[in-house]
A and B are shown apart, each in its own frame.
Chain A
């Protein structure tokens, strides 16, 4: 049984850990296409881990593939168990929608992220006078 890796209480299988390490390294290096492949494989191994959808969404979105990214973020949101994780998803949705030119939806997700305690979203809301 492969365990989730979402927090300190979960243990990942060695294969899963290695793939995650590879994916994160590729992502940090900006190699989003290769990182996408790693997170796609991780989803096959563990389809219930929100983080893998979240990261695959980031790989797609950072390449301008916004619809694919939104689909994965919605899946991640459905699996996320903590406000922190949900805040990450809403914050990234805000980024995508603002890049798509949908400012109202972007603001809605930004406010939701801030309400969930996302520090980045709160900083922006505070700095630009957006109530949350």
Chain B
């Protein structure tokens, strides 16, 4: 088990946090199921940036 969390972090891409802004899918997600790159949502697509 030692170093498992480090191995997990190494699999994560930088910048992904900003694409899951409200943490809606994080609460019940086992840590090893993240990341799913295709589930990324940009701020623009979430409608958080207005014209």
Chain A positions near chain B (C-beta within 8 angstroms)? 5, 7-8, 11-12, 14, 17, 20-21, 24-25, 27-28, 51, 54-55, 57-59, 61-62, 69, 84, 87-88, 91-92, 94-96, 98-99, 103, 106, 110, 117-120, 122-124, 126-128, 130
**A53 shortest CB reach to chain B, Å:** 11
Are A123 and B34 closer than 8 Å at their CB atoms? Answer: yes
Asked if residues B14 and A61 are in contact (CB atoms below 8 Å), the reply is: yes
B-side interface mostly: loop
Cβ A123 vs Cβ B31 within 8 A: yes
Given contacts A94-B9, A99-B10, A123-B31, contact A54 B51 (CB under 8 A): no
Q: Separation in Å of the B14 CB from the closest CB of chain A?
A: 4
Kindly report which residue of chain A lies nearest to residue B6, judged by CB atoms. Answer: A98
Q: Note all chain A residues with C-beta closer than 8 A to B48.
A: 5, 7-8
Instruction: Report how far A66 CA is from B29 CA in the complex, Å.
Output: 28
In the bound complex, CA of A57 to CA of B32 (Å): 24
Which residues of chain B are near A119, meaning CB under 8 Å? 20, 23, 26-27
